[in-house]
Structure 1
Amino acid sequence: MDAGPTIIRMINHLRFAGADPATQRQALEGIIRDEPVLMAVLTRLRALELPDALLCSGAIYNTVWNVLTGRPALTGVKDADAVYFDDSDLSYEAEDVVIRRAQDTFADLPIPVEMRNQARVHLWFPQKFGSPYPQLHESAEMLVNFASRTHAVAARLEADDSMSIFSPFGLDDIFAFRVTPNPKLDNRKTHETKGARAKTVWPELTVVPWPV
């Protein structure tokens, strides 16, 4: 009795894999718009009027995997990563003011929203992770430095309610349930750790090994 739904899930979860980029973008936008928590984050993020603000990474691709495998909403979603870009003041104090505003804005949501100024990453990354990080010039530029190409996705709800999608490596890795390494930076440990953890929640995933 249980084998049927399992087989259907295995067949259907890859239904957008290999589709053309326009179809994949349309599918992603539809999935995001159908998820109330993601839309609440995007709407409130827009209301904060932060420069170059984006919702990125796990909350987006995890939601895709949940929808396509029929799992409950927010399964495996620990938080929502939100970013902005403000190079007018690179102090921690200025960023902390925004972080506190965001905490109040998103306080009632079922997952925490982590806010960070991408203009400051190059200042603290080497101390925290022991390797250099290039200075960024806009929020979306961060995506090309992610440990896994699959994770490099972000969205913004524009003033006219249209949605902008940022995905420098495309969306096929997400829809193919494939965690693909991005060797631009020395992020092997992050790729392997996140890939292994994700596979415990979504066993449909294939984690591509870090290149030798």
Structure 2
Amino acid sequence: MLGRLSLAEQLDGFRTVLGRNEILTEVIAGTARLDLPGWYVTAGCLFQTVWNEVTGRPPAHGIKDYDVFYFDDTDLSWEAEDAVIKAGREVFDGLPAEVEIRNEARVHLWYEQKFKVPCPPHDSTESAIDRFAATTCCLGVRLEPGGDWRVYAPHGLSDVFNLVVRPNPVLAPREVYEAKAARWKEVWPELTVLPWPA
């Protein structure tokens, strides 16, 4: 099982599996062309591609959207972020998937209104990834200028390969974790969903 391999072997396996999702590789390549500061393709499109591989499903099965995070604290206006979103629409025009681009430097401006808990300002894209509701979600991939992949996985990859969903109670409330986990369990019933800590 991939979850029991060494970290280096897991990283090789991770990249191989992600490469089988043609939509994902197009999103990664297109985002590299956008050249956004501190960007990563992140979250569901990554771990769900792995879940599909492990469970024998098509690579893009059940993937709702493809998240792109970047970090630009030089302009926190909605207009600046919207300009990037519109540029992304042009790059991804014709792709059979929704690509959501978000400036993580702005999250604290709207997070509490949406999720009912305050969010301290992020200081990087990585710090935003660190605060996903499940540790399984805490993943980011990008292409470096030389063509190498940079993988950010602060909790490792074993849970991803082993189909384990583990809570990450640092920011998102319990109900967010439980709602996401319930949706995932419907699509991938093989998952082991760990409970929110008491």
Contact 1:52 1:85 in 2 (8 A): yes
Q: Identify the residue that residue 165 of structure 2 maps to in structure 1.
A: 179
* 1:85 lines up with 2:102 in the alignment: no
Q: Which runs of 4+ in 1 moved over 3 A?
A: none
Alignment of 1:29-48 (within 5 A): 29-48=15-34
Change (3 A) 1:41 1:186: closer
Q: Aligned Cα RMSD in Å?
A: 1.0
Alignment of 1:1-212 (within 5 A): 15-212=1-198
Q: What is the Cα deviation at residue 186 of structure 1?
A: 4.4
Q: What is the Cα deviation at residue 28 of structure 1?
A: 0.6
Give the SS at the match of 1:55. strand
Q: CA offsets, 1:90-134, max 9 Å, x none?
A: 001110111111111112111110000000001111122111112
Change (3 A) 1:35 1:186: closer
| Equivalent AA in structure 2 for residue 101 of structure 1 | A
| Equivalent AA in structure 1 for residue 4 of structure 2 | G
Q: Matched residue pairs, number?
A: 198
Task: Output the TM-score relative to the length of structure 2.
Answer: 0.96
| Equivalent AA in structure 2 for residue 75 of structure 1 | H
| Equivalent AA in structure 2 for residue 173 of structure 1 | D
Q: Distance in 1 between matches of 2:8 and 2:185?
A: 27
Give the SS at the match of 2:126. helix
Q: CA offsets, 1:181-202, max 9 Å, x none?
A: 0111242111111111111111
Q: CA offsets, 1:142-197, max 9 Å, x none?
A: 12111100111110011111100001111111011000001112421111111111
Q: Who wins on radius of gyration, i.e. which is larger?
A: 1
Q: Distance in 2 between matches of 1:104 and 1:190?
A: 31
Which residues of structure 1 form unaligned runs of 5+? 1-14
Contact 1:199 1:205 in 2 (8 A): yes
Q: For structure 1, which segment, 146-155 or 125-134, has the greater mean C-alpha deviation from structure 2 after superposition?
A: 125-134
Give the SS at the match of 1:145. coil
| Equivalent AA in structure 2 for residue 167 of structure 1 | A
Change (3 A) 1:110 1:186: closer
Q: Distance in 2 between matches of 1:86 and 1:144?
A: 17
Q: What is the Cα deviation at residue 35 of structure 1?
A: 2.1
